[in-house]
Amino acid sequence: MSKPPGRPFRAAIATALTVLVLGAVLWVADSVFATRAERHISESIAEEADLETSPRVYAGGAIYLSSLVTGTLDTVTIDMLDVDVPGIGMVNASTVLDSVTVTPAQVLSGDLNGSAVELFSRTLRLDGVALGSQLGITDLDISNPLDVSPTGGSASEAQLSGTPTGFAEPVAVVVTLRLVGSEFHMTPVSLVDGPDGTTLDDVVGDFTWSIDTTQLPLANRVNAVKMMGGSIYFESQARNVIVSTRELSPLAAPEDDSDS
């Protein structure tokens, strides 16, 4: 007949249960503080930018409250859908702050005003509706040309298809996406498909678009443009930025503090 568990075994079980309970309590507390900070950031941005919908915010790292000790939030991500950007229309905007210096009070409150950010990145995404509004083509579709990598830089390519004004059937063309200084240029280079008798010259004007990217609410001068997942992305980065709620808005770029 086996002996009942001894006192050391019961003590070990009790200790293990205590550790599990304490871990669960700390996890819940960490989630509560992280959620409260994220909500504060989101609501502050919506109020500052007069947005109808608050952006989705993620802040921290694996353990949010570890920032009380480290003084740094690993990352803060702010995603906003359907932002009406002057001069370009409805876009999706994503802002990422890497290595954010914070005080304990900022960790607990979510108030990031005055925080130093090591890397500030912003991406604007134009889908077929957004780009189509610039071209006057309501059924525009953006796709990846065959044998063209979706990665981007100062140059990329995309295939556009849609029905330009005056056409009864859709036209498909391959366009180049180029950054020349601060200027973005989209230029048709080949005709893929269209009504019988259609030539590239017939639709060049319909699929051509240019914009000065300094007009866009980006982190800095655009450093990459790419086509991916049926959308065109503009990407930019700025280093060593002091942020306020204004800069976190998808409608604003960070102020240039280089001369201060």
What average pLDDT is seen over the chain?
Answer: 85
| Pairing of β 89-101 and β 72-85 | antiparallel
CA 2 → CA 5, 6, 13, distances in Å? 9, 11, 19
pLDDT one-digit tens code per residue, 66-94: 999 999 999 999 999 888 887 778 889 99
Provide CB contacts within 8 A for 170, sequence distance 6+. 139, 161, 162, 163, 193, 194
pLDDT one-digit tens code per residue, 195-251: 999 999 999 999 999 998 888 888 788 888 988 888 999 999 999 999 988 888 887
The predicted structure's pLDDT at residue 196:
93
Residue with the two structure tokens 């950010």: 117
pLDDT one-digit tens code per residue, 127-159: 999 999 999 999 999 998 865 544 555 568 899
* 174 and 157 Cβ atoms separated by less than 8 Å: yes
